[in-house]
Structure 1
Amino acid sequence: MPTEPMAGPRSRSVREQLGSLTRRFSHMDAADTVLTPRTADLHVVTGFGPTNAPTAGTLSVMIGVVELQRRLKVPVTAVVSELGAWNSRNVAWDRLAEVRDQMLAFLRMLGFDESRGRLRSHLDPGNLARAGKIARFLGRQDFLEHREELLELYEDHGLLGSEVGLTVDALYTVADILEPAERGHHHTLMVSGLEEAYFTELSRLVMQRQSGAGDTSLGWSSRIGALYFRVIEGLAGYPKMSKSIPDSAIHLAMGADELTRRITSPEPADQRPLLTAMELASGWNDQTVGEAREAYLRRERDSAAWARFREEYLATFLHFAEQWQSCRR
C-alpha cells in the first residue's frame, strides 16, 4: 500500500489518537488500521543508526518517539542498529559501538520509559534468530525493488558497504519490525523517516508469504501500519540532514564554534532547514514555535527577529549537545 499524506478523512482516527503530535509526521501507510481506540495489543517499533552523533533530524525523531510513547501508552521498542550499520556503511566497529551506547543513554535522558518499552541493539539473539527465520521468504529481487532512495547519494560519497551487507542490514531491520508479530501482537506500528518506507513493504512481504507457506509457515498474524516523520531538510542544499554527509547537518558532537556558524548562518539555502529544526528538534512549546515561524516568514522585512530565533535555537541545541556529551562513557 503506498504512503499518503497526513490529511483527509482516512487519517481522522490517526489524528484523534495522536492529537498535536500529528504535526511531526508527513505521511502514513495504513496507520489507521492499527491506530484505533479499540487496539489493545498495539506495539510500536522504531530504530536509529549509530554512524555518528544525532543530527537535528535524528534528534527530532528521538524527541518524537518519546512523545509518542507518552501519548499512546503502549509498548515501544527502539533499536540502535549497530550491526546493521556495520554491514551497510563504511564505519569502524569501535565507533559504532561507542555511539550505540551513547544513543541508548541519551534516549533514557530524553525520557524514554523502559517500564513501557525496550531499548536494545542488533546484538540481540532473538532478533538474529528471527532474521534467520524470515530470510527464506525474501529473494534478491525483493531487495532490489525495495531499497533506500538515497543509496546513490551515499554511494557517491563512498559510504556504502557491499550489496550483501546492505541486504543483511535490511534483513535485520525487517526482523526488528516483525518482533511484535513473533510475540503474538496483532497490530504493529512502525515509525521512521519516509526514506525507510521500504522496510515496511519488505515486512509485509514476509508476513504475506509465510502465512501461505503451509507447513513452513511461522504462524504469525499481524497488521503493519507505518507513520513517517517529517524530514528536516539538509543544509547546503542537501535533501535531508544525514549523519553520513557532514556538510548537510548540525549534530550533537559538533563544537560550539561550528554550531554557531551553521545555526546562525545567513545563507538563504539554510533558512528553511533551520526553521524545520526549530519546529521538530527543539522541545519548544507551540507558542514559541509559532513565533519562530512568523519571524521566518517576515525575515526579508525584519531580519533581526529571525536572527534572534536562530540565536535562541543555538542555545537550545548547545544544551542538547551538553546532554549528549554527558552520556559518553
Structure 2
Amino acid sequence: MKFDTAYYESVIDQHQYEHLGLGTIDFALAGMSPGDLHTKWVCHTGAREFADAVSEGRPAIVTTGVGLGGPPHAGTLFQLLRAVKLQQCGLDVQIVLGDLDSYNARRTPLDAVRRLADQYEEFALGLGFDPGRGVLRRQEGETDVMATAFLLSRHLDDDDFQWAEEDLAGLYRNHGVFDHLNYGMKQATLLMAADFVHLLREGRHVLVSLGVDEHKYVALARRGAERWGLPADRLAGIYTKMIPGLGGLPKMSKSIPGSGIDGSMPAEDIRALLAADTDSAPPDDGSALLQMYACLPEVGQAEYDRASAARRAGDREWRVIREELVERLITLFSHWPK
C-alpha cells in the first residue's frame, strides 16, 4: 500500500469524507484558516459541525491517542504536537496514552507498558502540553471509560470489528506484528472507541484526530453510538496524512523496526538518516521531509507554500529548510526520556 494522492482520494471518495482544502472547505477552527488546517490534516468527518459548536460556545473537546509500542517515531511526535497546537489555540484537548491498547493488542508485558506510559507522559509535557488546561491520561484505572466500553459492546459485533481494521493491517501481518484480528485486538479497539464515546456521553461535541489509516475507528465509534441512541453526529473525525517510512515502507511505525526515526536514536543517527533521504517523491504527493515540516506547530499555509515551492525549484532555500528541520526534530526528540 502506498499513501499517495490516489490513496487519499480513494479513501475520501469511498467513505464520502470531505476534503480539507482551499476552495472546498468553508470553515476555520480555533483561529486556524482552511489553508492552515490543510497543512496538518487531509480529510474529515463532521469537523464543520464541530467548528460550529466551538464558535457557538457549546461544550467541545478534541481527543487523540498514541500507542505505546515503543519510543515515539516522527508520526507519533507530530500527533502530539498537533494536540499541543490545538490546545494553544484555545481548544479543550485530551491525549490518551494507549497503555491497555498495547497490553492487549501487542501483548506487551504490563510492567513494560507502565514504564512506557511514564516516558510518554514526560514526553508530552516536554513538548508543551498543559495538563492544567486539558487531559493527559492513561487507559488503565479509568473505570468509568471501561464501563462505557462494556455498555458500547452490546451495540457492536464481530463483523463491525473486522470491517474496522486499519488500512495498514496487511502491512503489519507481513512484518509479523500480528497474524489475525484476535480477541485482545478487538478489546483494544473497543476501548479506543469508548475513549471517544465516553466524551459524547458527557454531553460534548467530540473531534478525534488520528492518522487517515485509522479513519474506520471513528466510523466504528459512530456506528456503535448511533445504535446505542447517542447523538453520533456530534462525534467527528479529522485525519492526517501518513509520513512515509524509510526503506520504501508506506509509514513510519513503532511496530516495524527500521521504518523511521524515533526518540531513542542519537542525534547523529537522525542527521545521517535524513541526510540520506533522496527526497524524490512527486510534487503532488509531497515527501517525508516536507510532510514533517508541515506538521510543525509554527507552520501554516504561507510557510508550507513557500517551502513546497522551494522544494520544487530545488533551490538553496529548500536546503536551508531541510537543515533547520533536522535540527528541530533532534531538539523535539530530546524531550524523550532515555
TM-score, with normalisation over the residues of structure 1? 0.86
Match of 2:19 in 1: 5
3-state DSSP of counterpart to 1:324: coil
Identify the structure with the greater helix proportion.
Answer: 1
Match of 1:111 in 2: 128
From the superposition, tell whether residues 266 and 107 of structure 1 become closer, same or farther in structure 2 (CA, over 3 Å): closer
From the superposition, tell whether residues 278 and 17 of structure 1 become closer, same or farther in structure 2 (CA, over 3 Å): closer
1:89-104 matched pairs, under 5 angstroms? 89-104=106-121
Q: Please, which runs of 5 or more residues in structure 2 have no aligned partner?
A: 1-14
1:28 aligns with 2:44: yes
From the superposition, tell whether residues 269 and 86 of structure 1 become closer, same or farther in structure 2 (CA, over 3 Å): farther
Q: What is the CA-CA distance between 1:306 and the residue it aligns to?
A: 4.2
Match of 1:215 in 2: none
Q: Please, which of 217, 238, 249 is the counterpart of residue 199 of structure 1? A: 217
Return the letter of the residue paired with 2:47: A
Cα distance in structure 2, aligned partners of 1:282 and 1:22: 13
Instruction: Please identify, of 90-99 and 190-199, the stretch whose mean Cα deviation from structure 2 is larger.
Output: 90-99
Check conservation: 2:64, 2:208, Cα contact below 8 A: yes
Match of 2:183 in 1: 164
Cα distance in structure 2, aligned partners of 1:112 and 1:157: 33
Please give the per-residue CA displacement for 1:204-234, whole angstroms capped at 9, x wherever unaligned: 11111111xxxxxxxx435111111232222
Provide the identity percentage: 27
Return the letter of the residue paired with 2:122: A
Return the letter of the residue paired with 2:275: T
3-state DSSP of counterpart to 1:243: coil
Check conservation: 1:83, 1:169, Cα contact below 8 A: yes
Return the letter of the residue paired with 2:214: E
Match of 1:147 in 2: 165
Check conservation: 1:57, 1:281, Cα contact below 8 A: no
Check conservation: 2:97, 2:120, Cα contact below 8 A: yes
Cα distance in structure 2, aligned partners of 1:269 and 1:99: 35
Q: What is the CA-CA distance between 1:156 and the residue it aligns to?
A: 1.1
Q: What is the CA-CA distance between 1:14 and the residue it aligns to?
A: 4.0
Cα distance in structure 2, aligned partners of 1:308 and 1:17: 29
Return the letter of the residue paired with 1:221: P
Q: Please, which of 226, 231, 237 is the counterpart of residue 221 of structure 1? A: 231
1:317 aligns with 2:337: no
Q: What is the CA-CA distance between 1:315 and the residue it aligns to?
A: 1.6
Q: What is the CA-CA distance between 1:194 and the residue it aligns to?
A: 0.9
From the superposition, tell whether residues 188 and 88 of structure 1 become closer, same or farther in structure 2 (CA, over 3 Å): same
1:14-93 matched pairs, under 5 angstroms? 14=28, 18-19=32-33, 20-36=36-52, 37-71=55-89, 73-93=90-110
1:208 aligns with 2:223: no
Return the letter of the residue paired with 1:97: R
Please give the per-residue CA displacement for 1:214-265, whole angstroms capped at 9, x wherever unaligned: xxxxxx4351111112322222222222121232211121122321221111
Check conservation: 2:68, 2:99, Cα contact below 8 A: yes
From the superposition, tell whether residues 323 and 10 of structure 1 become closer, same or farther in structure 2 (CA, over 3 Å): same
Q: What is the CA-CA distance between 1:170 and the residue it aligns to?
A: 0.6
Instruction: Please identify, of 38-47 and 277-286, the stretch whose mean Cα deviation from structure 2 is larger.
Output: 277-286
Q: Please, which of 133, 152, 176 is the counterpart of residue 134 of structure 1? A: 152
Cα distance in structure 2, aligned partners of 1:195 and 1:48: 14
Check conservation: 2:74, 2:260, Cα contact below 8 A: yes
Q: What is the CA-CA distance between 1:22 and the residue it aligns to?
A: 4.0
3-state DSSP of counterpart to 2:39: helix
Match of 1:216 in 2: none
From the superposition, tell whether residues 308 and 90 of structure 1 become closer, same or farther in structure 2 (CA, over 3 Å): farther
Q: Please, which runs of 5 or more residues in structure 1 have no aligned partner?
A: 212-219
Instruction: Please identify, of 43-52 and 1-10, the stretch whose mean Cα deviation from structure 2 is larger.
Output: 1-10
Check conservation: 1:44, 1:75, Cα contact below 8 A: yes
From the superposition, tell whether residues 141 and 312 of structure 1 become closer, same or farther in structure 2 (CA, over 3 Å): same
Q: What is the CA-CA distance between 1:6 and the residue it aligns to?
A: 0.5
Please give the per-residue CA displacement for 1:8-35, whole angstroms capped at 9, x wherever unaligned: 6663124685323442111011111221
3-state DSSP of counterpart to 2:51: coil
Return the letter of the residue paired with 1:83: L
3-state DSSP of counterpart to 2:207: strand
Cα distance in structure 2, aligned partners of 1:177 and 1:103: 20
Check conservation: 2:30, 2:91, Cα contact below 8 A: no
Cα distance in structure 1, aligned partners of 2:271 and 2:330: 9
Match of 2:274 in 1: 263
Q: What is the CA-CA distance between 1:310 and the residue it aligns to?
A: 3.0
Q: What is the CA-CA distance between 1:288 and the residue it aligns to?
A: 6.0
